[in-house]
Amino acid sequence: MCGRFTVSVDIEEVEQFLKENFDINDLPNDFIIPRYNIAPGQDIISIINDGGKNRVGSLNWGFVPHFTKNEKQTFKIINAKSETLATKPSFKDSFINKRCLIIADGFYEWKKVNKKKIPFYIKLKNKKMFTFAGLWSSYKRDDGSKHYSCTIITTKANDLFQPIHERMPVIMTKVAERIWLNPNIKDIKMLSTLLNPFPIEKMDYYQVSEIVNNSRNETPQCIEKALK
């Protein structure tokens, strides 16, 4: 799964990433960067395509289906299994029509050891930024205002990640990013082929301090290797 992640770089690096990979030149000034412990319920930096160009903005992490009758009584979904996107009513419309990418440079996962959970930080070996595959939704409240939310898609863990957890977030390749954001592509079978475990030779991980267990802790210490 994916319950916490990071954008631990400075604003200039985010701007360069968006410009080089998505032709986005204008970054909203309300983004707080760097982030070392992003948690569900928070607004996260997301990319969509409006049919003409790529756009960046904030989506709330915790998917609320568009047909929801009461937002406050609805379970907000932080992860969606790639295998059920085309069949679950909560996700099917967004899978076809409302796909997004979520930018990150690492994420956390907890390994169960006896009765304890040990936190690990997972990143790319090249230490560069990347994107998660996501879905977004627009929910209209009774007062007419809209709530924009998203979920991160997960898949079966690769061999590197398997000892930590059986599932992992879908990290997109550059080719997959372009296809995923294209709103004109609605072929479910073809889209499903993009949602694969990331190659193990491009990933790395290490144990980190238990301070990351508390989402209020937002310091560089969260991503430092734990002292043995």
Catalytic residue numbers read: 2, 109
- Strands of the sheet with 4-7, listed across from one edge: 35-38, 4-7, 106-113, 116-124, 203-207
Contacts of 39 (CB under 8 A, 6+ apart): 3, 4, 61, 215
Residue with tokens 């903005």: 57
Residue with tokens 């390994």: 111
Q: Are 92 and 184 in contact (CB under 8 A)?
A: no
Rg of the chain over CA atoms, in angstroms?
A: 17
Other C-beta atoms closer than 10 Å to the C-beta of 71 total: 14
Contacts of 44 (CB under 8 A, 6+ apart): 38, 58, 59, 60, 61, 102, 150
Helices 11-22, 174-181: crossing angle, 10 deg rounding: 70
Task: Output the DSSP codes for 114-172.
Answer: TTEEEEEEEEETT---EEEEEEEEEEE-TTS-EEEEEEEEEEE--TTTTTT-SEEE-BP
Q: Are 46 and 135 in contact (CB under 8 A)?
A: no
